[in-house]
Amino acid sequence: RRTKTKAERMGQGGSSENAQPANTNTIGIPVKLNVYTPRQQQPQQRTAGTNTVSQVPSAGMGAYHSGVVIGGREYTFGGGASNGSGVVDHVPGKAYGQANGNWQFYQTVDLGKTRLNQKQIQSALSELRTMFPAKSYDLLAKNCNHFSELFCLKLGVSFPNWVNRMAKMGAMMQGKGDFVAQEKAKIQAQEQRRREKEAKMKELKMRQGQLKPEADANAKGVILIQVNCPGGKKARRRFVETDTIGDVMEFVYAYDSMVARKGFELVQTMPRKVFANNRMTLAAAGLKGRANLFVKKKM
Protein backbone atom coordinates (compact mmCIF):
# COMPACT_ATOMS: atom_id res chain seq x y z
CA ARG A 1 0.00 0.00 0.00
CA ARG A 2 1.52 3.32 -1.10
CA THR A 3 1.91 6.03 1.55
CA LYS A 4 0.60 9.40 0.38
CA THR A 5 3.05 12.27 0.14
CA LYS A 6 2.63 15.35 2.32
CA ALA A 7 1.54 17.32 -0.74
CA GLU A 8 -1.20 14.78 -1.48
CA ARG A 9 -2.39 14.78 2.14
CA MET A 10 -2.43 18.58 2.41
CA GLY A 11 -3.85 19.34 -1.04
CA GLN A 12 -2.64 21.37 -4.02
CA GLY A 13 0.51 23.34 -3.26
CA GLY A 14 1.31 21.23 -0.17
CA SER A 15 -0.49 23.60 2.24
CA SER A 16 -3.79 23.41 4.08
CA GLU A 17 -4.72 26.82 2.62
CA ASN A 18 -5.19 25.19 -0.78
CA ALA A 19 -6.91 22.05 0.41
CA GLN A 20 -10.53 21.72 -0.74
CA PRO A 21 -13.31 20.14 1.31
CA ALA A 22 -14.22 16.80 -0.19
CA ASN A 23 -17.70 16.18 -1.52
CA THR A 24 -18.74 13.05 0.33
CA ASN A 25 -21.93 12.35 -1.66
CA THR A 26 -22.23 8.64 -2.34
CA ILE A 27 -25.23 9.08 -4.62
CA GLY A 28 -25.14 11.22 -7.74
CA ILE A 29 -23.21 11.99 -10.90
CA PRO A 30 -19.40 12.29 -10.61
CA VAL A 31 -17.90 15.71 -11.28
CA LYS A 32 -14.24 16.37 -12.07
CA LEU A 33 -12.20 19.44 -12.93
CA ASN A 34 -9.52 19.24 -15.61
CA VAL A 35 -6.81 21.83 -15.09
CA TYR A 36 -4.33 22.97 -17.74
CA THR A 37 -1.22 25.15 -17.79
CA PRO A 38 0.21 27.29 -20.60
CA ARG A 39 2.41 25.03 -22.66
CA GLN A 40 5.55 27.02 -21.94
CA GLN A 41 4.84 27.41 -18.23
CA GLN A 42 5.22 24.01 -16.64
CA PRO A 43 5.60 20.32 -17.51
CA GLN A 44 2.60 18.08 -17.17
CA GLN A 45 1.89 17.13 -13.58
CA ARG A 46 -0.53 14.25 -13.87
CA THR A 47 -1.76 11.84 -16.46
CA ALA A 48 -5.51 12.06 -16.95
CA GLY A 49 -7.28 9.46 -14.85
CA THR A 50 -4.35 8.84 -12.48
CA ASN A 51 -3.15 10.28 -9.17
CA THR A 52 0.56 10.16 -9.91
CA VAL A 53 2.10 13.49 -8.84
CA SER A 54 5.25 14.64 -10.62
CA GLN A 55 5.35 18.30 -9.63
CA VAL A 56 3.40 20.65 -7.34
CA PRO A 57 3.14 24.39 -8.09
CA SER A 58 4.13 26.91 -5.44
CA ALA A 59 1.10 28.23 -3.50
CA GLY A 60 -1.21 27.77 -6.49
CA MET A 61 -0.23 31.09 -8.06
CA GLY A 62 0.10 29.87 -11.62
CA ALA A 63 -2.03 30.73 -14.62
CA TYR A 64 -4.50 27.96 -15.32
CA HIS A 65 -7.26 26.97 -17.70
CA SER A 66 -10.02 24.64 -16.48
CA GLY A 67 -13.03 22.69 -17.62
CA VAL A 68 -15.74 20.88 -15.67
CA VAL A 69 -16.13 17.22 -16.60
CA ILE A 70 -19.55 15.66 -16.15
CA GLY A 71 -21.52 13.08 -18.10
CA GLY A 72 -18.58 12.24 -20.36
CA ARG A 73 -18.09 15.81 -21.64
CA GLU A 74 -15.89 18.69 -20.53
CA TYR A 75 -17.48 22.15 -20.34
CA THR A 76 -15.52 25.37 -20.45
CA PHE A 77 -15.72 29.01 -21.48
CA GLY A 78 -13.75 30.87 -24.13
CA GLY A 79 -13.86 34.32 -25.61
CA GLY A 80 -14.38 35.41 -29.17
CA ALA A 81 -16.10 37.84 -31.52
CA SER A 82 -19.21 35.69 -31.80
CA ASN A 83 -22.55 37.04 -30.61
CA GLY A 84 -23.36 33.62 -29.22
CA SER A 85 -22.35 31.87 -26.04
CA GLY A 86 -18.71 31.25 -25.24
CA VAL A 87 -19.56 28.03 -23.38
CA VAL A 88 -18.34 24.99 -25.29
CA ASP A 89 -17.99 21.28 -24.58
CA HIS A 90 -15.48 18.77 -25.86
CA VAL A 91 -13.81 15.44 -25.18
CA PRO A 92 -12.35 15.49 -21.63
CA GLY A 93 -8.61 16.03 -21.35
CA LYS A 94 -8.18 18.12 -24.48
CA ALA A 95 -8.11 21.79 -23.56
CA TYR A 96 -10.07 24.38 -25.46
CA GLY A 97 -7.40 25.96 -27.65
CA GLN A 98 -4.97 23.06 -27.20
CA ALA A 99 -5.09 22.43 -30.91
CA ASN A 100 -3.21 25.72 -31.34
CA GLY A 101 -0.60 24.68 -28.80
CA ASN A 102 -1.84 27.04 -26.08
CA TRP A 103 -2.42 24.63 -23.20
CA GLN A 104 -1.22 21.31 -21.89
CA PHE A 105 -2.98 18.99 -19.47
CA TYR A 106 -1.92 19.48 -15.85
CA GLN A 107 -4.17 17.50 -13.50
CA THR A 108 -7.66 16.22 -12.76
CA VAL A 109 -9.32 17.20 -9.49
CA ASP A 110 -12.07 14.89 -8.23
CA LEU A 111 -14.88 17.14 -6.97
CA GLY A 112 -17.21 14.37 -5.75
CA LYS A 113 -20.77 13.96 -6.99
CA THR A 114 -23.65 16.28 -7.76
CA ARG A 115 -27.14 15.54 -6.51
CA LEU A 116 -28.66 17.25 -9.55
CA ASN A 117 -30.32 15.06 -12.14
CA GLN A 118 -29.67 15.30 -15.88
CA LYS A 119 -32.55 17.72 -16.46
CA GLN A 120 -31.32 20.03 -13.70
CA ILE A 121 -27.76 19.89 -15.02
CA GLN A 122 -28.91 20.86 -18.51
CA SER A 123 -30.99 23.68 -17.02
CA ALA A 124 -27.92 24.99 -15.18
CA LEU A 125 -25.86 24.81 -18.38
CA SER A 126 -28.56 26.63 -20.35
CA GLU A 127 -28.49 29.45 -17.79
CA LEU A 128 -24.69 29.59 -17.86
CA ARG A 129 -24.61 29.75 -21.66
CA THR A 130 -26.70 32.90 -21.43
CA MET A 131 -24.54 34.35 -18.66
CA PHE A 132 -21.28 33.75 -20.54
CA PRO A 133 -21.47 35.20 -24.09
CA ALA A 134 -18.19 34.93 -25.95
CA LYS A 135 -17.79 38.72 -26.16
CA SER A 136 -17.97 39.04 -22.36
CA TYR A 137 -14.68 37.20 -21.80
CA ASP A 138 -12.24 39.10 -19.59
CA LEU A 139 -8.90 37.55 -18.66
CA LEU A 140 -9.08 38.80 -15.07
CA ALA A 141 -12.77 39.35 -14.34
CA LYS A 142 -14.62 36.70 -16.36
CA ASN A 143 -12.49 33.88 -17.66
CA CYS A 144 -12.83 30.11 -18.06
CA ASN A 145 -12.19 29.53 -14.35
CA HIS A 146 -14.99 31.90 -13.35
CA PHE A 147 -17.27 29.73 -15.47
CA SER A 148 -15.96 26.54 -13.90
CA GLU A 149 -16.38 27.92 -10.38
CA LEU A 150 -19.95 29.06 -11.04
CA PHE A 151 -20.85 25.74 -12.68
CA CYS A 152 -19.44 23.93 -9.64
CA LEU A 153 -21.51 26.18 -7.39
CA LYS A 154 -24.68 25.23 -9.25
CA LEU A 155 -23.70 21.55 -9.14
CA GLY A 156 -23.15 21.76 -5.39
CA VAL A 157 -19.49 20.75 -5.42
CA SER A 158 -16.43 22.65 -4.19
CA PHE A 159 -14.17 24.50 -6.62
CA PRO A 160 -10.43 24.58 -5.75
CA ASN A 161 -9.61 28.25 -5.07
CA TRP A 162 -6.01 28.04 -6.25
CA VAL A 163 -7.12 27.54 -9.87
CA ASN A 164 -8.30 31.14 -10.33
CA ARG A 165 -6.39 32.90 -7.55
CA MET A 166 -4.04 34.83 -9.84
CA ALA A 167 -6.85 36.29 -11.98
CA LYS A 168 -8.89 37.30 -8.92
CA MET A 169 -5.92 39.07 -7.37
CA GLY A 170 -5.29 40.88 -10.64
CA ALA A 171 -8.94 41.89 -10.92
CA MET A 172 -8.90 43.20 -7.38
CA MET A 173 -5.77 45.29 -8.06
CA GLN A 174 -7.49 46.81 -11.09
CA GLY A 175 -10.69 47.52 -9.19
CA LYS A 176 -12.74 44.98 -11.12
CA GLY A 177 -15.57 43.18 -9.37
CA ASP A 178 -15.54 39.47 -8.66
CA PHE A 179 -18.13 38.05 -11.08
CA VAL A 180 -18.53 34.78 -9.19
CA ALA A 181 -18.83 36.54 -5.82
CA GLN A 182 -21.59 38.72 -7.27
CA GLU A 183 -23.44 35.68 -8.60
CA LYS A 184 -22.96 33.87 -5.29
CA ALA A 185 -24.56 36.82 -3.51
CA LYS A 186 -27.55 36.63 -5.89
CA ILE A 187 -27.89 32.89 -5.36
CA GLN A 188 -27.64 33.29 -1.60
CA ALA A 189 -30.30 36.01 -1.67
CA GLN A 190 -32.59 33.75 -3.74
CA GLU A 191 -31.96 30.89 -1.33
CA GLN A 192 -32.74 33.14 1.63
CA ARG A 193 -36.02 34.18 0.04
CA ARG A 194 -36.84 30.54 -0.67
CA ARG A 195 -36.16 29.58 2.94
CA GLU A 196 -38.23 32.46 4.26
CA LYS A 197 -41.13 31.48 1.99
CA GLU A 198 -40.78 27.86 3.08
CA ALA A 199 -40.77 28.91 6.74
CA LYS A 200 -43.90 31.03 6.21
CA MET A 201 -45.72 28.16 4.50
CA LYS A 202 -44.74 25.84 7.34
CA GLU A 203 -46.01 28.37 9.89
CA LEU A 204 -49.30 28.80 8.02
CA LYS A 205 -49.77 25.04 7.82
CA MET A 206 -49.30 24.82 11.58
CA ARG A 207 -51.82 27.63 12.15
CA GLN A 208 -54.34 25.96 9.83
CA GLY A 209 -53.98 22.74 11.78
CA GLN A 210 -55.09 24.58 14.92
CA LEU A 211 -58.34 25.88 13.42
CA LYS A 212 -61.64 24.36 14.48
CA PRO A 213 -63.15 22.14 11.74
CA GLU A 214 -64.94 23.93 8.91
CA ALA A 215 -68.73 23.88 9.13
CA ASP A 216 -70.57 21.39 6.96
CA ALA A 217 -72.30 22.84 3.91
CA ASN A 218 -75.64 21.49 5.16
CA ALA A 219 -75.22 22.64 8.75
CA LYS A 220 -77.94 24.75 10.33
CA GLY A 221 -77.18 28.47 10.16
CA VAL A 222 -74.16 27.99 7.86
CA ILE A 223 -72.50 31.19 6.60
CA LEU A 224 -70.03 31.31 3.70
CA ILE A 225 -67.54 34.08 4.40
CA GLN A 226 -65.02 35.45 1.92
CA VAL A 227 -62.19 37.50 3.38
CA ASN A 228 -60.19 39.91 1.21
CA CYS A 229 -56.65 40.40 2.47
CA PRO A 230 -54.46 43.52 1.90
CA GLY A 231 -52.17 41.79 -0.62
CA GLY A 232 -55.10 40.78 -2.85
CA LYS A 233 -55.36 37.25 -1.48
CA LYS A 234 -58.91 35.94 -1.06
CA ALA A 235 -59.99 33.02 1.08
CA ARG A 236 -63.35 31.39 1.74
CA ARG A 237 -64.59 29.27 4.60
CA ARG A 238 -67.91 28.09 6.02
CA PHE A 239 -68.90 29.08 9.54
CA VAL A 240 -72.09 28.80 11.59
CA GLU A 241 -74.05 31.52 13.36
CA THR A 242 -72.68 30.53 16.75
CA ASP A 243 -69.06 31.00 15.63
CA THR A 244 -67.48 34.29 16.63
CA ILE A 245 -65.72 37.16 14.90
CA GLY A 246 -62.62 35.84 16.65
CA ASP A 247 -63.02 32.51 14.81
CA VAL A 248 -63.04 34.34 11.48
CA MET A 249 -59.98 36.36 12.50
CA GLU A 250 -58.13 33.16 13.41
CA PHE A 251 -58.98 31.86 9.94
CA VAL A 252 -57.49 35.00 8.36
CA TYR A 253 -54.37 34.68 10.54
CA ALA A 254 -53.97 31.06 9.43
CA TYR A 255 -54.15 31.85 5.70
CA ASP A 256 -52.24 35.10 5.28
CA SER A 257 -48.68 35.37 6.60
CA MET A 258 -48.74 39.15 6.03
CA VAL A 259 -51.10 39.84 8.91
CA ALA A 260 -50.32 39.77 12.63
CA ARG A 261 -52.76 38.06 14.96
CA LYS A 262 -53.77 41.26 16.76
CA GLY A 263 -52.78 43.68 14.03
CA PHE A 264 -55.98 43.82 11.97
CA GLU A 265 -59.75 44.08 12.10
CA LEU A 266 -62.58 42.88 9.88
CA VAL A 267 -64.65 45.38 7.92
CA GLN A 268 -67.86 45.07 5.96
CA THR A 269 -68.41 47.73 3.29
CA MET A 270 -72.14 47.46 2.53
CA PRO A 271 -73.43 48.46 4.97
CA ARG A 272 -70.17 49.59 6.51
CA LYS A 273 -69.38 47.87 9.77
CA VAL A 274 -66.18 47.37 11.73
CA PHE A 275 -66.16 44.18 13.78
CA ALA A 276 -63.99 44.97 16.78
CA ASN A 277 -65.51 42.59 19.34
CA ASN A 278 -63.83 39.22 18.90
CA ARG A 279 -66.33 37.49 21.19
CA MET A 280 -69.39 38.60 19.22
CA THR A 281 -71.18 35.75 17.44
CA LEU A 282 -71.71 35.99 13.72
CA ALA A 283 -75.47 36.03 14.31
CA ALA A 284 -75.12 39.00 16.68
CA ALA A 285 -72.92 40.73 14.10
CA GLY A 286 -75.73 40.44 11.56
CA LEU A 287 -73.87 38.05 9.27
CA LYS A 288 -75.84 35.31 7.51
CA GLY A 289 -75.93 33.38 4.26
CA ARG A 290 -72.96 34.91 2.46
CA ALA A 291 -70.65 37.64 3.68
CA ASN A 292 -67.81 39.56 2.05
CA LEU A 293 -65.34 40.98 4.57
CA PHE A 294 -62.16 42.99 4.19
CA VAL A 295 -59.02 42.80 6.31
CA LYS A 296 -57.92 46.22 7.51
CA LYS A 297 -54.58 46.57 9.25
CA LYS A 298 -54.67 48.56 12.47
CA MET A 299 -52.76 51.82 12.47
List, by residue number, the catalytic residues: 65, 144
- Here the contacts of 165-170 (C-beta below 8 Å, separation 24 or greater) are 165/60, 165/61, 166/61, 166/62, 166/63, 166/64, 167/63, 167/139, 167/140, 167/141, 167/143, 168/140, 170/140
DSSP 16: G
Write the burial class of residue 211 (CB in 10 Å: 0-12 exposed, 13-18 middle, 19+ buried).
Answer: middle
DSSP 43: -
Q: Please state the separation of Cα 134 from the chain's center in Å.
A: 25
Alpha-carbon gap, residue 174 to 206, rounded angstroms: 52
Q: Roughly what angle, to the nearest 10 degrees, separates helices 179-209 and 245-255?
A: 150
